[in-house]
Amino acid sequence: MPLNIAVLLSGSGSNLQSIIDKIEQGVLDARIRLVLSNKNGVYGLERAEKHGLPTKVVKHTAYDSREDFDAALVQLIRESGAEAVILAGFMRILTPHFINSFPDKILNIHPAVLPCFPGVNGQQQAVDYGVKISGCSVHFVDEKMDHGPVVIQAAVPGLHRDDAKTLGARILKMEHRIFPQAIQWLAQGRLSIEGRKVDVKDCPAPMVINSQEDSALVNPGLENGF
């Protein structure tokens, strides 16, 4: 049985696209029940519509409180039949009510090797700091921003002449690989949380990618197709 997911986004939706692609390729056993955006007119919604996926826009500005906004999201997600929530560039902090509505079933992607550079513009923060290594993380969501237990991380080089755009593009390529992989592990029931640590059942060994286009260290390693 595929994992029923809702994908929440606020922008271009390239991570949504990578999830759609892996589902269509038959390597990710999930079904997107709803794509939810807190902003009108973002490209992520267009991507969803191109693939015939149901979309909804819930503007946070239309609500008096974060609690009311989140309650509306929870209701729509429940009605869609989604059991898990995928935050793919969703730039809002979630309330305890939201988090407790989908226990151990909310994943977020962040464009840095957490706990470095949480919050907005992780790529710019990394460039400003001058790090030689940055990357991306998929983690379970808790009540603090970009904070919950880490499922998978990829490290990529930070180069002397990088700006947020060039570093961001290098990171994004890895985001598109580790996020669908983490969702697949969730779909397969292979993730268990022990305090801050996530155990991946039959955990693949760390993996080094060293091709002409990409170099990265990914842990746990990616499985076939990802």
Which positions touch ligand GAR (CB under 6 A)?
9, 11-15, 44, 88-89, 109-111, 122, 146, 172, 175
By beta-carbon proximity to ligand GAR, the closer residue of 9 and 82 is 9
Question: Looking at beta carbons only, is 111 or 220 nearer to ligand GAR?
Answer: 111
**Please, which residue, 80 or 125, has the CB nearer to ligand GAR?**
125
Query: What SS3 state is found at 220?
Result: coil
Least distance between ligand GAR and beta carbon 97 (Å): 20
Q: In terms of Cα–Cα distance, which of 88, 76, 73 is closest to 30?
A: 88
- Residue 195 has a CB neighbour count (10 Å cut-off) of 6
DSSP 61: G
CB of 161 to ligand GAR, least distance (A): 20
Rounded CA-CA distance 152/34 in Å is 24
- Annotated catalytic residue: which of 51, 60, 97, 110? 110
Instruction: Determine the residue with CB nearest ligand GAR.
Output: 89
Catalytic residue check, 110 = yes
| Least Cβ distance, residue 12 to ligand GAR (angstroms) | 4
| Helical (H) or strand (E) element with 152 | strand 150-157
Contacts of 17 (CB under 8 A, 6+ apart): 47, 176
The token duo for 110 is 């962040």
* Residue number with CB closer to ligand GAR (8 or 198): 8
Instruction: Please identify every residue annotated as catalytic.
Output: 110
